[in-house]
A and B are shown apart, each in its own frame.
Chain A
């Protein structure tokens, strides 16, 4: 029986090659998209799962409240927090701080020198919290000794090749000596924490002379591993005011985030985090698979007239309806299996491209249990779903109707609804793509308050300021170099902040105003072409300009001293006058608004040199490199372009935009196949009507009108549905941006016209063929 079933299906498939090809291709495309998205989603949700006790690992984060009531959540916590939590709460088994080494360090050993900025400073508990396989050295407590360094396998191999380096010495910045205590396996790519080496906090104290007992400075990640069965909610509630209890004026509240949510979920309540993309693309996968299933349903039922006789005969000779349903379901499952085979080939071919698009190294792993499960699930649901309607519809034919020639049942409505759904989804995706691109374009082109183009910047080693003045003078001699400045951070990543600012007339409410802080050198304002509203920028013409402040408009407003120069403010314990007010500029992604900012000249903190260059960057950069290499032969010249960093802000969005565009195109193609199927049914069923109308005098235009009118009614309906859906979806998305576009009616009209045009072209040939067919041909078969 099964053999005959298979035989029938395969013969049917072979006999109607074009139909089968369209159908299988549609399914294969749908399954390919779904598999690609599932592989990506699987990668995203696999982040950090390699840690053995991941469900016991938590990150402590701070909810900082701004004066206007906005809550901003950050992972930065005070240094003493980890130890304090461990001592006070029995639920905490291990606690560790983590902070990235600030800037580049020069490591030397075994006659080699390597400049690294991938170091992490951690407490010994770090290795008890996270599962990092130890290859050599102290397995239980790699940082037990305060003078040890732990290397990643990658860094160990760069220094020492394949040998066990435990016990050998690494010199840092030619000053500090650390002994290799252990070598750990590199973090896998799907890890939230990446590292090249680990250092103990002794280094932090020695090198940066940082007061590690200060509760007011937030620079550290705090990770906890809780005891088995610890009550997390209870603990989170208890630690909530832990910082406030130590700093009376602080409004910081602490909370816990499970580490398995670290990669995908944002700690900011009003931001969705990458999980949003995961959810959106899962939805897209389901939509595309649905569109493909609808397609199959459409095409399969469109052929019903051809299959009707077969069904009738089978019924006459004894087939029950159930058996026929089985036959058609088998057929759709076989189609899906063939589609799956093709899809796996497609996926294999497309994975590298898709990997580039998603910025992930994705692999197809057919032996993986989860993958097999997904495949079986896809085949069964797609097969059954796409086969269900044709099976029920076709098996419902009564033999007598077929024999009498009146077997056509009213499936037309359902198929029209399917096409309407397909088109609605495709058009909605198209509109979303347009809006996403428009918003990204807006963000990249909009006035950010300074000129980000043609800025080259270089990260320095610490304590470079002594050599900086000389370097600056030489750089300024290069033709094409217009301005040179230095700062502790570039305007793309301002991250320091403080509450500790005093000014005359400061109110109690203003205690909670958080100020961003930046240390900048002379000519900073000029280099970045910022607008000075009042006063001036830091300039050598006015002496050293230390203990002078430049603030932005927002800060002036918060301080209630709009446009007044010469006011005295106190930052920490430095008191000085405001010498300039700059127009607000964006020093973060435009998703975040502008906060109050204070700039001060503090040469010891400078870390970057910013250079404004002319349009023709390459020769200028080469000249800069030349001077650099002469001055710092040991330090590699790693320069960056500010505009590239700026684009990086929107990389996630930009990637999403590209993915959306790709999947929209695919959805459209499959939907057009569906429309093609619908129209082939319409032309088949209207052949007689058209022939008769022609016999009795209808001309070609009449017939075209007759056929197109009906179809366009449905396409218009799809357009309307898509408008509504996409409008609400995109309004919601745009509301996540501090600066956003208005969607505008243009995109909707464009989508409508394009859809109608695409629909027109898809069905033109079939309709034209029907219109031009000779009536006698059709009527002969009556």
Chain B
């Protein structure tokens, strides 16, 4: 599903060049649950952002579902993203001015899904995340765990093939973190490919494969479980 070839990302300021990713070659198949680990600053989030088409590589190739996408225009990226990729962030990134329902509904609006269909799907997603009773609340009225469940609901509402999660439990206590991980595991079992950046070994244990990054290089890839 995803293939990177000699992926390089260099951040340049006036005087300093920092290589965040250095010749990263990866292949992630459909249905996989991959965890990316490594110390702070090793390039985990950069890699996730490039895979999620939120950022461009400096060099190298990125293939998504067989298409080479690293040179896509912003419009093409947006289209590809909204149909195929869901995001879950450490800091939830919900829009404060929108209710829970509206936050989850947002991707469907941009996909031009009809009103009744939207309503059905949002309710379904909220039910599934066990947060339907909070539909009319605003993000700031919810606990961290609840906010992250809303964020996951928003990530899955468009039935993406791929979910990218950047430290999804990083801001949560262990009980809420556990709950979020259960949800992600369940989504994966239903067929969604998941790539997750994490510092937590126990969260990484849920994955099929752990990719270890260090100073922008892939150092090891461990298969956790049989596919």
**A12 CA / B87 CA spacing, docked (Å):** 25
> Is A776 an interface residue when CB atoms closer than 8 A count as contact?
no
When distances are taken between beta carbons in the complex, the residues of chain B under 8 Å from A316 are: 52, 54, 81, 87, 93
When distances are taken between beta carbons in the complex, the residues of chain A under 8 Å from B110 are: 314, 317-320, 323
In the complex, number of A-B residue pairs with CB atoms less than 8 Å apart: 61
> Is A539 an interface residue when CB atoms closer than 8 A count as contact?
no
**A60 CA / B93 CA spacing, docked (Å):** 76
Which of A8, A15, A309, A318 makes the CB contact (< 8 A) with B81? A318
A4-B102 in contact (CB<8A): yes
**A312 CA / B55 CA spacing, docked (Å):** 12
State the interface size on chain A (CB cutoff 8 A).
Answer: 24
> Is A310 an interface residue when CB atoms closer than 8 A count as contact?
yes
In the complex where A4-B102, A316-B87, A321-B74 touch, is A310 in contact with B97 (Cβ < 8 A)? yes
When distances are taken between beta carbons in the complex, the residues of chain A under 8 Å from B87 are: 316-317
**1/0 contact string of A391-429 vs chain B (CB within 8 Å):** 000000011100100000000000000000000000000
A313-B93 in contact (CB<8A): yes
B56-98: which residues lie under 8 A (CB-CB) from chain A?
74-75, 78-79, 81-82, 87, 89, 93-98
CB closest chain-B residue, reference A7? B102
B218 to chain A minimum Cβ distance, whole angstroms, is 21
> Is A18 an interface residue when CB atoms closer than 8 A count as contact?
no
When distances are taken between beta carbons in the complex, the residues of chain B under 8 Å from A315 are: 78
B78-A313 in contact (CB<8A): no
> Is A11 an interface residue when CB atoms closer than 8 A count as contact?
yes
B97-A319 in contact (CB<8A): no
**1/0 contact string of A1-19 vs chain B (CB within 8 Å):** 1001001100110010000
State the interface size on chain B (CB cutoff 8 A).
Answer: 27
**A399 CA / B74 CA spacing, docked (Å):** 11
> Is B142 an interface residue when CB atoms closer than 8 A count as contact?
no
When distances are taken between beta carbons in the complex, the residues of chain B under 8 Å from A403 are: 49, 54, 89
B52 to chain A minimum Cβ distance, whole angstroms, is 8
When distances are taken between beta carbons in the complex, the residues of chain A under 8 Å from B55 are: 400
CB closest chain-A residue, reference B56? A400
When distances are taken between beta carbons in the complex, the residues of chain A under 8 Å from B97 are: 8, 11-12, 15, 310
Say what secondary structure dominates the interface of chain A. helix
CB closest chain-A residue, reference B111? A318
**A15 CA / B105 CA spacing, docked (Å):** 21
Identify which of A7, A312, A315 gathers the most chain B CB atoms within 10 Å of its CB: A315
B109-A399 in contact (CB<8A): no
**1/0 contact string of B103-114 vs chain A (CB within 8 Å):** 001110111000
> Is B154 an interface residue when CB atoms closer than 8 A count as contact?
yes
When distances are taken between beta carbons in the complex, the residues of chain B under 8 Å from A313 are: 93-95, 106
Which of B81, B95, B154 makes the CB contact (< 8 A) with A310? B95
When distances are taken between beta carbons in the complex, the residues of chain A under 8 Å from B78 are: 315, 318-320
B107-A318 in contact (CB<8A): yes
When distances are taken between beta carbons in the complex, the residues of chain A under 8 Å from B89 are: 403
**A319 CA / B54 CA spacing, docked (Å):** 13
In the complex where A4-B102, A318-B81, A320-B75 touch, is A400 in contact with B95 (Cβ < 8 A)? no
**1/0 contact string of A313-346 vs chain B (CB within 8 Å):** 1111111110100000000000000000000000
**A312 CA / B95 CA spacing, docked (Å):** 10
B130 to chain A minimum Cβ distance, whole angstroms, is 21
CB closest chain-A residue, reference B87? A316
**A7 CA / B138 CA spacing, docked (Å):** 13
B162 to chain A minimum Cβ distance, whole angstroms, is 13
A479-535: which residues lie under 8 A (CB-CB) from chain B?
none
B82-A317 in contact (CB<8A): yes
B128 to chain A minimum Cβ distance, whole angstroms, is 18
A314-B102 in contact (CB<8A): no
CB closest chain-B residue, reference A399? B54
A731 to chain B minimum Cβ distance, whole angstroms, is 48
A1-B109 in contact (CB<8A): yes
When distances are taken between beta carbons in the complex, the residues of chain A under 8 Å from B81 are: 316, 318
CB closest chain-A residue, reference B83? A318
**A318 CA / B74 CA spacing, docked (Å):** 11
A408 to chain B minimum Cβ distance, whole angstroms, is 14
When distances are taken between beta carbons in the complex, the residues of chain B under 8 Å from A4 are: 98, 102, 105, 109
**A318 CA / B106 CA spacing, docked (Å):** 9
Identify which of B81, B87, B107, B110 gathers the most chain A CB atoms within 10 Å of its CB: B110
Which of B49, B74, B79, B93 makes the CB contact (< 8 A) with A309? B93
**A323 CA / B112 CA spacing, docked (Å):** 12
When distances are taken between beta carbons in the complex, the residues of chain A under 8 Å from B105 are: 4
When distances are taken between beta carbons in the complex, the residues of chain B under 8 Å from A317 are: 82, 87, 106-107, 110, 154
A287-317: which residues lie under 8 A (CB-CB) from chain B?
309-310, 312-317
A157 to chain B minimum Cβ distance, whole angstroms, is 64
CB closest chain-A residue, reference B102? A4
When distances are taken between beta carbons in the complex, the residues of chain A under 8 Å from B82 are: 317-318
**A404 CA / B124 CA spacing, docked (Å):** 33
**A443 CA / B111 CA spacing, docked (Å):** 71
When distances are taken between beta carbons in the complex, the residues of chain A under 8 Å from B154 are: 317
**A8 CA / B54 CA spacing, docked (Å):** 25
A400-B74 in contact (CB<8A): no
CB closest chain-A residue, reference B106? A317
**A323 CA / B74 CA spacing, docked (Å):** 14
A314-B95 in contact (CB<8A): yes
B141-156: which residues lie under 8 A (CB-CB) from chain A?
154
**A701 CA / B55 CA spacing, docked (Å):** 42
When distances are taken between beta carbons in the complex, the residues of chain B under 8 Å from A398 are: 54
- For this complex, 24 residue pairs linking A to B, each with C-beta atoms less than 8 Å apart, are A4-B98, A4-B109, A8-B98, A12-B97, A15-B96, A310-B95, A312-B93, A313-B106, A314-B95, A316-B54, A316-B81, A317-B154, A318-B78, A318-B79, A318-B107, A318-B110, A319-B78, A319-B110, A320-B75, A320-B110, A321-B74, A398-B54, A400-B55, A403-B89
Residues of A within 8 A of B (CB): 1, 4, 7-8, 11-12, 15, 309-310, 312-321, 323, 398-400, 403
Known contacts A8-B98, A317-B106, A318-B78; can you find 14 more A-B pairs with CB under 8 A? A4-B102, A4-B105, A15-B97, A310-B97, A312-B93, A313-B94, A314-B95, A316-B81, A317-B107, A317-B110, A318-B82, A321-B74, A323-B110, A398-B54
Residues of B within 8 A of A (CB): 49, 52, 54-55, 74-75, 78-79, 81-82, 87, 89, 93-98, 102, 105-107, 109-111, 154, 158
6 A-B pairs closest in CB distance: A318-B82, A318-B110, A317-B107, A400-B55, A400-B54, A11-B97
